[in-house]
Chain A
Amino acid sequence: MSSRNFYSTGNILQYNELKKKAGLNSRDELSEALKIILSDFKSKGDSTEIPNDANINSENLDRKELKIAVKVLLSKLDPTNLREAFDRVFEVLNTEVIESLVVHLEKEETGDNILPVLQNLWKVLEEYHNNKRLVSIGVSDVDTDKFIQFYNWANIKPNIIQINLATCCVVPPALQEFTKQNDIQLLTHSDPDPIITKESLTEFFGEQTELNWVVRYQVHVKCRGVLSAKGYLIHINRSS
């Protein structure tokens, strides 16, 4: 079994196998993408270089025409881990700036007490924001009351809140109102939590593997509604 702990799917828009399975949710999409790259590693040998350049810009557009949106799905909720995710994604996408970044904390890890953990992690986002490396920053799946409380606490205000698609037609009125008042983007997602199940982790990476984080990036061509790249980065821990 490999000792690697970081994987990058590359731009999954290039995989026709995936296009043919249209409409997958992100958990299944990630699984399919992992299958593809892992079988690739197997055939080429595990020493294959991890692609540092995800080729997010195959059409050679000017960087200012692109908008990069990243979601960090964090399983190990400590700031070091989050920093590692950031550093990896900046490196892989070969970019100085990420236009939109949302952080999601795995529910099982936060329990009912999300705020202290979130506040602790938010300082990292604020720092990257202050260094002009993140433009819009936000959170995912935080209940209305807690979100408002968190918003009022935050130094750099979140300007994105993501809610689960399943409930999108019944947005809590208080959240709707609050986001409108404060110019916050109220976005939808359909990411299962956790993004990789324990079973899949074992299947792909062997027993006693723990997930640190998954990053999903989406590169959009601004003002044209075109998606130019999408991919996942996965960081695991092998306790053996």
Chain B
Amino acid sequence: MGLLSEGSPLSWEDTKKLADHVRKHGVVQFINLYNRLRDRQGDMLKWGDEVEYILVKFNDKEKTAKVSLNAEKYLSLLQEKEREDPNNVKSLWRPEYGAYMIEGTPGKPYGGLLAHFNVVEANMQYRRQEASKLLEPGEVLMSLTNFPRLGAPDFTDPPAVPTPQDGASKSLFFPDQAIFLGHPRFQTLTRNIRSRRGEKVAINLPIFKDENVKLPFRENLIELGDDGSSEKAAKDDHVYMDAMGFGMGCCCLQLTFQACNIEEARTLYDQLTPLCPIMLALTAASPFYRGYVTDVDCRWNVISSSVDCRTREERGLEPLKENKFQISKSRYDSIDSYLSEEGAKYNDVKLIYDEDIYKQLLDNGIDKLLAQHIAHLFIRDTVSLFSEKVNQNDLEDTDHFENIQSTNWQTMRFKPPPSNSSIGWRVEFRPCEVQITDFENAAIVCFVVLLTRVILSFKLNLLIPISKVDENMSRAQKRDALRTEKFWFRKDITSNAKHTSDEDEITEFTIDEIVNGKEDIFPGLIPLVYSYLASMDADADTHCTIQRYIKLIERRASGELLTTASWLRKEVLSHPDYKKDSKISQKINYDLLKKIHDLETNKISCPELLGPCTVSKTTETIPVAMKKAENCVSSVDC
């Protein structure tokens, strides 16, 4: 999330009235922007990661660990440097949904040299240290996808009480004070999504049925203040959650990279799409919700349900009267269509969009694929509008477009250049779960960026029908999916393979086979990365670092190492206090988070999770000789 525009949010009633206004102007703004920037060429590779962190407060006497609601205080300190000298900071800090969350990104994007892979981890370390040194005693910054007891009794510091009768969330479990209050956006979104939906959001995750879980697993919600609506929404044998905070309060690891022009951006958007579920399974890191062990390993569906603003009509539960469309997915979900010519033939999911908007886009010179993508994004209403932003100059402003674009939270995001900037067409890769250490997070982002280079250099074709990507997304989130599931993948990824039939073209592989290869059948992503690296001029330190990152990915993919989710499970299930009831007590939570912290600070080693080598040759700056060898300062044409 970028810098948030300040301002006063409109009430839901006013926002709702302006939905068509935002849509109408948003589409016009996109058309103007597209016509201004469609031919932009020659942008270099620039890229950056986003790591989200939670603040945890330990109480060593009482043996508790809670989320610390201090993000606002630290954020204003962290942003001081940027306010004073925005062009010379090593890190940028942004608020996130939770009052216990912050997001850090590098101060400047990394560049297109291989040597840049060697500065990523150093920058992540810098960010972690920069934030950590501000904290109070007992407070710790952690890159953990979900706080295990988020929404369980007494999970915040200072304590906060849920308010089921009023406020933004009306949650039985998640107090509004746990929402970041330093900017009105988050509460407004919470309220508006709930209002638009017509009821609280409902998230049901299958519980891990350990020996002592009493079946059917059902909780007494009335005693928490339920008016009956939660009772209705909660499913048996599921961990039920009822607030946006359960999803948007999770941390992600995302990366954005600049393409050399719009065509390359489309290609990468499409080619990375089949990798989303694969990377999700590989980075799985969130098996615990609301103090329970669940049967899923990933956050994805949780966030998806947590911001599902569709009405009952839109969800197909009631006939359409007030609303225009039945919509099959939440606004946070996997993408529904490819954007490149190559991808077009794999668009096998029926796209919902407004015909008039689609036609308007076509009439203004936008091709079918992009037009249907934009029209599909614009089936959503705005869920957050600020009074200062209602009236805009559509020739220059893009806020209405961004309003809809930035609240379509999908696996991939296709990002046009911002107006009046030197930034080009970009693609954002959003499925990954954040890992405990900087080493792991650096490994993952470098691996993904390397894959983009491999795809472009070898002109690979990873496309599979988009419906199969959706199938993979649901498989990826299952418990231990990495070792037990198979995933649809393309058999022949060399580009000129002919499109015959699905059966000939795709098959099911394990993650190990996809990543490490299957003899005589599939080359494997890592061997392709090695081929690429062997053809590039890598400096010795960078090469060493990348090798160690790839080794980690290779071992995780093969199952030799545990995924973060599997490791977290194992820790809880083997805790002496654990009663085989799938519950994470304060004490278990405390011990687990302590261990995570010790791991992150290198006090203990954990070869089953990280392997034998967790140290890279990362450094803050790239060697002068490497910089000179490929002078990237002047703009080169694409």
Which residues of A are interface residues toward B (Cβ below 8 A)?
13, 16, 19-26, 61-62, 64-65, 67, 69, 100, 136, 159, 163, 165, 168-169, 171, 176, 179-180, 183-188, 190, 218, 220, 222-228, 230
Contact = CB atoms under 8 A, between A and B. Distances in A.
Contacts of A227: 453, 457-458, 532, 535-536
B530 A23 contact: yes
B623 A190 contact: no
Interface string B616-638: 01000001111011101000111
Contacts of B538: 187-188
Contact of B536 (A62, A171, A225): A225
Interface in B491-544: 492-496, 517, 523-524, 526-528, 530-532, 534-541, 543-544
Contact of A224 (B260, B528, B547, B626): B260
Contacts of B260: 224
Nearest to A184: B625
A23 B524 contact: yes
Contacts of A61: 637-638
Contact of A190 (B114, B492, B534): B534
Given A223-B111, A225-B112, A225-B453, A16 B494 contact: yes
B531 A24 contact: yes
Contact of A26 (B492, B534, B630): B534
Contacts of A25: 534
Contacts of B457: 13, 226-228
B637 A19 contact: no
Contact of A65 (B517, B623, B638): B638
Interface in B319-362: none
A13 B113 CA distance: 21
B44 interface: yes
Contacts of A171: 540-541
B89 interface: no
B45 interface: yes
Interface of B: 42, 44-45, 111-114, 260, 453, 456-460, 492-496, 517, 523-524, 526-528, 530-532, 534-541, 543-544, 547, 617, 623-626, 628-630, 632, 636-638
A89 B389 CA distance: 60
A136 B114 CA distance: 18
Contact of B543 (A24, A64, A65, A168): A168
Nearest to A67: B630
Contacts of B537: 69, 100, 185, 187, 218, 220
B638 A222 contact: no
A183 B625 contact: yes
B494 A19 contact: yes
A78 B547 CA distance: 37
A223 B495 CA distance: 24
Nearest to B624: A183
Contacts of A67: 629-630
Nearest to A135: B629
Could you say which of A13, A64, A222 has the most chain B C-beta atoms within 10 Å of its C-beta? A222
Given A13-B459, A22-B530, A64-B636, 18 more contacts: A19-B493, A19-B523, A23-B531, A65-B42, A100-B537, A169-B617, A183-B624, A185-B623, A185-B626, A186-B625, A222-B632, A222-B636, A223-B44, A223-B112, A224-B45, A224-B112, A226-B456, A227-B457
Nearest to B497: A16
Nearest to A21: B523
Nearest to B537: A187
A222 B638 CA distance: 9
Q: Considering the complex of A and B, which 10 residue pairs feature the smallest CB-CB distances, nearest first?
A: A23-B527, A16-B494, A22-B527, A223-B632, A22-B523, A227-B457, A223-B112, A223-B44, A169-B544, A22-B528
B539 A188 contact: yes
B113 A223 contact: yes
Interface hub of A67, A184, A218, A225 (most chain B Cβ within 10 A): A225
A100 B539 CA distance: 14
